Each structure stands twice: as structure tokens, then as C-alpha cells.
Amino acid sequence: MSNDDQILVGTASWSDPGFVERWYPKKMKAGERLAWYAEHFDMVEVNSTFYAVPDVRTVERWSAQTPANFTFDVKLHQLLSRHSTQLKLLPPDLQRRAETDEKGRVRLTPEIEEAITRIFLRSIDALRRDEKLGVLLLQLSPAFSPRKHQLSELDQIVSATRDYQLAIEFRNSNWITREHFPDTLNFLKKHNIAFVNVDAPAAEHFTIIPSDIDAVTTPDVAYLRLHGRDPKAYLTGKTVATRFNYDYDDNEVEEVADRGRKLAKEADKVHVVFNNNALDYAPRAATRLRAALGQMIQPVAENRELF
């Protein structure tokens, strides 16, 4: 296997509105999009699971609609990622059991954490059974900082997913300061967890992890998520599409290719995920990255009509 073939390229979600409007063929049915996406990419990061535990039958359809060598990276539920979570975003059974604060936000107790983890992992079992499950992504809240929290607070979810490949994306830059980064890396290496490297705006803000870090904390996989490089959009955008509204140019795509190759020297696989969700920027950039890596790609017609 060549170095470039170790690099899997995909997007965060396959059904964003901009994709539907500008990338998929016109009039394509929603149920046909994943199979078409899988003609162009070998991997996707599932974003919808951050907001709701998926239905078992839905996940089984995902597996059935994709080829044998396709990989799904799955984002863990936002409650597990320590984000503020409304009660309605939990499975019905847990809604009846969970405690909430005065604003209706769920209190993350050990019991609720264990229950939602168990339900979540069961829901995606079809991907694991069919050998299509890649990485479980824990995208931590920016509020999870070393000033108020300890990494040991993650021990329960780390233990529950020990038979899976977990990756953690920090959204609070204090975890990677000179004071804390050695302990952060040691924690990840100890538990065989992948550190999520990022491509992000070059701006000083506690929610932005610097792009000059290339950390590989498990030999199995390295992870790189691309958020765009517009600091104003990233810091002031009110929606996902506006926050990550950035179109990588060809030179920047080449930079990403070089970075992927660097990571591939230290890990068996590299997952590169375009999270620049505005319009069709992500799949277009991902296609150009595959071309830059010399990978076989299907040409994408310009919003061709289906007959």
C-alpha cells in the first residue's frame, strides 16, 4: 500500500443542504444520496448522531447502501461530548429518567452516561458487524477546560468504548498549552485514543486549536478535520454553514495533502474530514484532495439531471 492510499478522505455529513442543492444530481431522491456519495469517497463522518441516537434500521440501511470497503466515522452524542443538551434530544426512555436543571438541560450523571453510551453503541452495531465502523469521534465542548475539568472525567466513556477506536477533538485550546499538552498527549496515548488535528483559522481564541500541531497518539489512525480558515466566520457565525464557510483553494489543498502524507508516516491510516459545510465546498475540496493524492476518483457532473 502506498503512503497516499493510507489516507481516507471524506466530508462531515453527506446530506448538508448545500450538498443537495449544488453537488448531488438534480432530482436525486434522499434515499439515493449515500450510495452516490460512496461512488466518490471511501469514508464519511456521520454528523447527525451528535444530535440524536440513530435508529437501528436507519444504520442498517446506511451499511446496505455502501460498498464493503466503505468507512463510517461516527460522532458521539453531544451529551457525551459535554455539550449543553436539551431533554428532547435524548432517547424517549432516557427522557423519563434524566434530571434537568432550571433551563431544561440534562445533568450528565454516571447513570445517564452509561445508559446513553450503551444505547448509542447498540444503535450503530450494524456498522461494526459489517466492518464499516471507523472512528468514534468525541467532539468536546469548548466549556470543557482544564481550569474546571480533568481528563479523568472522561474515564467512563473511554472505558465503555475501549473495544472501539475513539478520537477526541478538543475545542478548548488550554488543553494544548505548554502546561497541559504533555498530560493531554499522555492520556490519549495511554488509552489508545486518536488526537484530532485540525486545520482552522490562524487566530488567537480559546476555541481554536492551532493548525501547526500534528499529533499522532495511536499507531492505528491519525485524524485531521478541516474547518476552514476564515476567523470572522468561525468566531461569529450563528450556524454551522456560516461558521465553516470557506472554500479551500488548490494551493491549500496541496498543503492538506502534504500534511496527510506526514501523518501517514506515523499511523496505519489517516482520516481527513472536510468540515467546511457551506454550499458544496466540502465535497469539491475533498475531491480535489483525492486527486492531489493520486487516488482514483469519479468525475462529478455539474448538477446533472436524472432521467
Q: Which residues pair with 150 in a beta bridge?
A: none
Give pLDDT tens digits for 79-90.
999 999 999 999
Domain for residue 304, yes or no? Answer: no
Average of per-residue pLDDT across 109-114: 96
Query: Which range marks the domain in which residue 186 is found?
Result: 4-292
pLDDT of residue 307: 33
The CATH number covering residue 103 comes to: 3.20.20.410
Question: Is 300 part of a structural domain of the chain?
Answer: no
Tell me if 305 is assigned to some domain: no
Confidence of residue 125 (pLDDT cuts 50, 70, 90): very high
The predicted-structure confidence for 233-261, as pLDDT tens digits, reads as follows 999 999 888 999 999 999 999 999 999 99
Tens digits of residue pLDDT in 17-75: 999 999 999 999 999 999 999 999 999 999 999 999 999 999 999 999 999 999 999 99
Structural domains counted in the chain = 1
User: How big is the CA angle at 90 (ends 84 and 94), to the nearest 5 degrees?
Assistant: 120
What confidence tier does 104 reach under pLDDT thresholds 50, 70, 90? Answer: confident
Burial of 86 (0-12, 13-18, 19+ CB in 10 A): middle
Q: Of 198, 206, 289, 274, nearest to 240 (Cα)?
A: 274
Residue 301 lies in a domain: no
242 Cβ contact list (under 8 Å, min separation 6):
233, 278
Domain presence at residue 297? no
Indicate whether 258 belongs to any domain. Answer: yes
- The string of pLDDT tens digits covering residues 155-166 is 999 999 999 999
Q: Is residue 298, in this structure, part of any structural domain at all? A: no
Kindly report the backbone phi and psi dihedral angles of residue 75, in degrees, each rounded to the nearest multiple of 5, phi listed first.
-80, 130
- pTM (2 decimals)? 0.94
If DSSP codes are grouped into helix, strand and coil, which group holds residue 299? coil
Residue at 85 is within a domain: yes
Q: How confident is the model at residue 296 (pLDDT cuts 50, 70, 90)?
A: confident
**pLDDT, position 301:** 57
In angstroms, what is the C-alpha Rg of the chain? 19
What's the grid cell of residue 28? Answer: 436525486
Q: What is the DSSP string of 112-137?
A: HHHHHHHHHHHHTHHHHHTT-EEEEE
Looking at residue 1, its pLDDT comes to: 43
